[in-house]
Chains A and B, each alone.
Chain A
Amino acid sequence: MNPTNVSNNDRKFVLPGDLLGDEKFRSGSGTYGRDGKIYASRIGILNISRDFINVIPFSGAYVPKPGDSVIGKVIDNGPSSWMVSIHSPYIALLHTNDVQPNIKYGETGKFLKAGDTVLAKISNINEIKKIQLTMKEHGLRKLDDGQVIHIPHSKVPRVIGKGGSMISLLKQNTDTKMFVGQNGAIWIDGEPGDIERVSKAIRMIDERTQMSGLTDMVREYLEGHENNEDRDDTEEG
């Protein structure tokens, strides 16, 4: 048996080094080109879209891109900036110029301190990957309530779903507010029981990314539990 063929429905599981195609194609993400041929560089699923060959990775570090919204954890503060962990290889920097209230030099701790959770946007990245954040746009803020759970960033599109279908499903069936950061951190706020149901549904999406009929499975879970467990709360929103 050739284990290359373990995947079904033409979905091909590939490993780094596997030959994926020749010069008819162009090398996309998760691949590299060499001597006119294209090879996988990551473990994942082969994806050919138009003339690009990509590998959709199963795992791996989140590499920030400008414009990404992320959920981060403040880990330290200096006199005019904060260090924010964004579940990436790099610690991001948030400067006092990039937050809404006017923070005086040396008083950063009054606004944010280690352990605080923020919703921020990647504003700039230089060539040696110094990452800058901003919280100046609408909706970006410190998160005071709710909970944050983490999934591999490569699975963020699954949690959001085609045209936002999955996330609407999650919100419709529970009375929760959510932010999905591109870095794989997800903020959920609501009643404890609802938060738990959404968290479990997201774990389900994370663990069964490869399975077909995922949306139906999640719907079944949420609706099933709504009937069985939640007695007096939650109407569809």
Chain B
Amino acid sequence: MKLVKEKLIDGDGKRRDGRTFDMLRPIKIDAGPLKNADGSAYIEWGNNKIMVGVYGPRELQQKHLQEPDRAIVQVQYTMASFSVEDRKKPGQGRRENEISKILSEALEGVIISDQYPRTAINVFIEVLEAGAGTRCAGLTAASVALADAGIPMRGLVASCAAGKIDGQVVLDLDKLEDNIGDADLPVGIIPTTGEIVLLQMDGHLSDLEFEKAFGLARDACMKIHELQREALSRKYFNEGESPKEDEPDGEVTS
């Protein structure tokens, strides 16, 4: 079947869902929805629905994978069979493998892992419904789940894609824009330092277009970082409760 080239941006500069070039889709983040995981987060981003759970650090059972001076980070990104229009076969495909690897590396770059030699930090990213941009949404939620688990990090990671449709650089492509657009540029950064931990691109962009696209994604990451902060503060500070003065460590008593 041949795709008919549709207009993705109308005369007023509006995209099919009414967004302008620099707008994100609606994003909702919930910190700590799971009971068993050491940390967790749920994110809805446009049509994307993703659950992330973190276990660890825990002593690695496979001794040959242990690092004597640090924890290793193992991300497993999986799409549910019903998460896409045409049912996906259960199990990990090549795409999921690649994404798991780059997300593991992205998070290893921010986690302060030298306190936990010989352990693994497991991050499970379950894509329940996929609607373009799952790796960015997954990475954003994963860093909330890691913070929830109390894992030390140099900062949270916020992630978002920019791209090009109808010859114009725009933020946060939806499914159709991603399918028939000209380029996609997923970016993950530590908003507090500007360090880049995830960067991929496909399609074609000029150097000027890249700069513009990267700038859009970076600015969006700053907004996403605020949503991450709000989600975590909702979990740990129920409204109206004031934190209590700190007390010194007690001793074990009998």
Q: Touching in the complex, A and B, CB below 8 A?
A: yes
Which A-chain residue is minimally distant from B153 (CB atoms)?
A16
Which A-chain residue is minimally distant from B229 (CB atoms)?
A3
The number of A-B residue pairs with CB atoms under 8 Å apart is 163
Q: Say which one of A95-103, A109-117, A174-182, A196-204 lies at the interface with B.
A: A174-182
Q: Is the CB of B150 within 8 A of A60?
A: yes
Q: Is the CB of A89 within 8 A of B245?
A: no
Quick one: which of A17, A19, A166 has the most chain B CB within 10 A? A17
The answer to whether B91 has its CB under 8 Å from any CB of chain A is no
Q: Is the CB of B247 within 8 A of A158?
A: yes
Interface residues of A (CB under 8 A from B): 3-4, 6-9, 11, 13, 15-19, 30, 32, 34, 39, 41-43, 45, 47, 56-61, 63, 68-69, 89-91, 127-129, 139, 152, 154, 156-164, 166-167, 177-182, 208-214
Q: Is the CB of A19 within 8 A of B192?
A: yes
Q: Say which one of B97-105, B116-124, B130-138, B169-177 lies at the interface with A.
A: B116-124
Give the CA-CA distance A166 to B244 in the complex, in Å. 14
Q: Is the CB of B253 within 8 A of A210?
A: no
Q: Is the CB of A43 within 8 A of B232?
A: yes
Q: Which residues in A have their C-beta under 8 angstroms from that of B154? A: 16-17, 32, 34, 39, 41
Q: How large is the interface on B (under 10, 10 to 19, 20 to 34, 35 or more residues)?
A: 35 or more
Q: Is the CB of A7 within 8 A of B156?
A: no
Q: Is the CB of A11 within 8 A of B242?
A: yes
The answer to whether B109 has its CB under 8 Å from any CB of chain A is no
Q: Knowing A9-B242, A13-B236 are in contact, say whether A58-B247 is a contact too (CB < 8 A).
A: no
Give the CA-CA distance A15 to B245 in the complex, in Å. 19
B117 partner, pick from A17, A59, A128, A164, beta carbons under 8 A:
A128
Q: Knowing A90-B59, A128-B118 are in contact, say whether A157-B155 is a contact too (CB < 8 A).
A: no
A207–chain B nearest beta-carbon distance, Å: 9
Q: Which residues in A have their C-beta under 8 angstroms from that of B56? A: 61, 89
Q: Is the CB of B247 within 8 A of A18?
A: no
Quick one: which of B59, B149, B192, B247 has the most chain A CB within 10 A? B247
Q: Is the CB of A18 within 8 A of B118?
A: no
Q: Is the CB of B226 within 8 A of A211?
A: no
Quick one: which of B57, B237, B248 has the most chain A CB within 10 A? B237
The answer to whether B36 has its CB under 8 Å from any CB of chain A is no
B129–chain A nearest beta-carbon distance, Å: 28
The answer to whether B30 has its CB under 8 Å from any CB of chain A is no
Give the CA-CA distance A39 to B195 in the complex, in Å. 15
Which B-chain residue is minimally distant from A181 (CB atoms)?
B252
Q: Knowing A41-B112, A210-B241, A214-B244 are in contact, say whether A157-B150 is a contact too (CB < 8 A).
A: no
> Which chain B residues numbered 148 to 165 have a C-beta less than 8 Å away from chain A?
148-156
A128 partner, pick from B68, B232, B236, B237, beta carbons under 8 A:
B68
Q: Is the CB of B150 within 8 A of A17?
A: no
Q: Is the CB of A58 within 8 A of B192?
A: no
B206–chain A nearest beta-carbon distance, Å: 33
Q: Which residues in B have their C-beta under 8 angstroms from that of A43? A: 147-148, 150, 232, 236
Q: Is the CB of A161 within 8 A of B250?
A: yes
Q: Knowing A57-B150, A164-B251, A182-B252 are in contact, say whether A11-B115 is a contact too (CB < 8 A).
A: no
A83–chain B nearest beta-carbon distance, Å: 11
Q: Is the CB of B112 within 8 A of A32?
A: yes
- With A32-B154, A57-B150 already in contact, 6 other A-B pairs whose C-beta atoms are closer than 8 Å: A9-B243, A60-B151, A152-B150, A167-B253, A180-B250, A210-B237
